[in-house]
C-alpha cells in the first residue's frame, strides 16, 4: 500500500498524533475516529470522524474513507474492530490479538501457554474465590481489574485472604467484574521491548528500554536499558514469542520485569506503540510510529539501530496550571528534542508531552534529562 493511500486510526490521543506525523512524512493521508473535539491527533489528521468508538455509522464511514486501519489504545471495544474487519479493510492489530491483550486473565494465560515466564496468578470473581486463593497462606499480591486499567488505575495491593476479599467487594461494587490476583514480583528493574512484526512475518525489535515510574505513571525511560547482554537477548526473545503467538502485525510493546538473577518475566503486553518507545523518534532512524505505518501498509520494516543513547522524560500535568514554563531554556540546550501534544488542559496526572535527551551513554543522558526537568514547571 504505497504513499498516497489513506490510513484510518481509532483514537485521537498523542499516540495517534505521532502515528499521523510519521504517516504524513511518508506521504500518506490519515483519518481519525475520535469522540472528543480538538484532539491531539485530530489537530493534524486530514479528516476527523467525530463520534463514539462504538458508533456503527461512524465506523462504517471510517472504513469507507480508509485503505487500512489501526488503533492507538487497547481499551477500544473489540466488537468495533470486528465490524471494521467485516467490511473488508486490513485492520491491524486484529480483533483476536486485541481480545487477548485487553484482558489480563487472557493475557497471562496466553503467556503461560506460550512458555513465557509470568508471575503466579489467579482469576478472582468473588470474595470466596479471593479467600480460596490464599489457602491460609499470606503473600503480597496485586488485585487488578481484568480489563480497563492503566497507569496504576484499577489495582490495589493485598496480603491475605480477608484483605483480598474486602478489596474484591470494593472493586466490584456489586457488579460482576472479573478480577485477577497477581503475586508480587521481586523485580530489580522494569524494562520494555518495543518490537514490530510485518505482514510477511518479518520481525524487528529495538534495544530493551529501562523504565522508572512515579505514582504508577512512566516517568523516565533510558535507551538502552542497563542490563546484561543475556537479559537483553531473553527480553527480545520474549517479544518475538509474543508477536508470533498473537500473529501480530504492527508495532507492539512487551513490559517486563528483570529479576535479581537477570531472569526476565513478562508483565503486560501493549498491542500498539508505547510511551516507553518515544525516544525512538529522535534516537533511531526509524521510529516506532514509522514502523507501525510500514507494517500496516505491507512495506519493509525499518532499521531499529540505536544512533545515540537517550533518555525520555514524560511531561505530566500537576494541576497547578495549563502552561509549561521553561520551554525557552530547554530548547536552548543541544541534543534535546521537545514534543508537546497540543492538549489545552493539564490536570494532575495527564500526559502533556515529553522531551528526549541524546547523550554519550544512557546514564549521562538520564542525568542531564533530570537536571533539565527541574527547570520546567506548570503554571498559569
The yes or no reply on domain 120-183 and CATH 3.40.190.10 is no
Write down the domain spans for the chain. Answer: 6-91, 120-183, 189-379
The reply to whether domains 6-91 and 120-183 share a CATH topology is no
| pLDDT value of position 75 | 83
Could you tell me the pLDDT band of residue 150, with boundaries at 50, 70 and 90? Answer: low
What would the mean pLDDT of 357-379 be, rounded to a whole number?
A: 97
What would the mean pLDDT of 45-56 be, rounded to a whole number?
A: 97
Residue 148 clears pLDDT 80, i.e. is over it = no
Contacts with 204 (C-beta within 8 Å, 6 or more apart), sequence order: 195, 196, 291, 301, 302, 303, 304
Which one is predicted more confidently, 154 or 277? 277
SS3 5: strand
What length is written for the chain? 380
Could you tell me the pLDDT band of residue 136, with boundaries at 50, 70 and 90? Answer: confident
Residues 228-260 have pLDDT tens digits of 999 999 999 999 999 999 999 999 999 999 999
Q: Which alpha helices (DSSP H) does 336-379 contain, by range?
A: 362-373
Other Cβ atoms closer than 10 A to 231: 21
Distance CA 326, CA 314 (A): 15
Assigned superfamily of 189-379: ATP-grasp fold, B domain (3.30.470.20)
Could you tell me the pLDDT band of residue 282, with boundaries at 50, 70 and 90? Answer: very high
Q: Nearest-CA neighbor of 309 among 356, 274, 360, 354?
A: 360
| pLDDT value of position 206 | 98
What class is the 6-91 domain? alpha beta
What would the mean pLDDT of 292-304 be, rounded to a whole number?
A: 98
pTM: 0.95
Do you find a cis peptide bond into 336, omega within 30 degrees of 0? no
Amino acid at each position: 500500500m504505497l504513499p498516497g493511500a489513506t490510513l484510518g486510526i481509532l483514537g485521537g490521543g498523542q499516540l495517534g498524533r505521532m502515528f499521523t506525523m510519521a504517516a504524513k512524512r511518508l506521504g500518506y493521508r490519515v483519518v481519525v475516529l475520535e469522540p472528543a473535539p480538538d484532539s491531539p491527533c485530530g489537530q493534524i489528521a486530514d479528516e476527523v470522524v467525530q463520534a463514539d468508538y462504538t458508533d456503527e455509522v461512524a465506523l462504517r464511514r471510517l472504513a469507507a474513507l480508509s485503505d487500512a486501519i489501526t488503533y492507538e489504545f487497547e481499551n477500544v471495544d473489540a466488537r468495533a474492530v470486528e465490524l471494521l474487519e467485516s467490511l473488508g479493510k486490513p485492520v491491524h492489530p486484529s480483533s483476536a490479538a486485541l481480545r487477548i491483550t485487553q484482558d489480563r486473565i487472557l493475557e497471562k494465560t496466553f503467556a503461560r501457554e506460550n512458555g513465557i515466564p509470568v508471575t503466579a496468578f489467579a482469576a478472582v470473581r468473588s470474595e470466596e474465590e479471593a479467600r480460596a486463593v490464599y489457602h491460609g497462606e499470606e503473600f503480597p499480591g496485586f488485585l487488578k481489574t481484568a480489563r480497563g486499567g492503566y497507569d496504576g488505575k484499577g489495582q490495589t495491593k493485598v496480603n491475605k485472604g480477608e484483605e483480598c476479599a474486602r478489596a474484591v467487594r470494593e472493586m466490584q461494587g456489586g457488579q460482576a467484574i472479573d478480577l485477577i490476583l497477581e503475586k508480587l514480583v521481586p523485580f530489580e528493574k522494569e524494562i520494555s521491548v518495543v518490537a514490530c512484526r510485518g505482514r510477511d512475518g518479518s520481525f524487528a525489535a529495538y534495544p530493551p528500554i529501562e523504565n522508572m515510574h512515579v505514582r504508577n505513571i512512566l516517568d523516565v525511560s533510558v535507551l538502552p536499558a542497563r542490563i546484561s547482554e543475556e537479559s537483553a537477548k531473553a527480553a527480545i526473545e520474549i517479544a518475538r514469542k509474543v508477536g508470533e503467538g498473537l500473529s501480530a502485525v504492527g508495532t507492539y510493546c512487551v513490559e517486563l520485569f528483570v529479576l535479581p538473577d537477570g531472569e526476565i518475566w513478562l508483565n503486560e503486553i501493549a498491542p500498539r506503540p508505547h510511551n516507553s518507545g518515544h525516544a525512538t523518534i529522535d534516537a533511531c532512524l526509524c521510529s516506532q510510529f514509522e514502523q507501525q505505518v510500514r507494517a500496516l501498509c505491507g512495506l519493509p520494516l525499518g532499521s531499529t539501530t540505536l544512533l545515540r543513547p537517550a533518555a525520555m522524560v514524560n511531561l505530566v500535568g500537576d494541576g497547578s496550571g495549563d502552561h509549561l514554563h521553561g520551554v525557552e531554556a530547554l530548547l536552548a540546550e543541544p541534543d534535546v528534542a521537545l514534543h508537546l501534544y497540543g492538549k489545552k488542559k493539564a490536570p494532575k496526572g495527564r500526559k502533556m508531552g515529553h522531551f528526549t535527551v541524546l547523550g554519550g551513554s544512557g546514564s549521562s543522558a538520564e542525568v542531564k534529562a533530570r537536571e533539565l526537568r527541574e527547570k520546567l514547571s506548570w503554571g498559569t
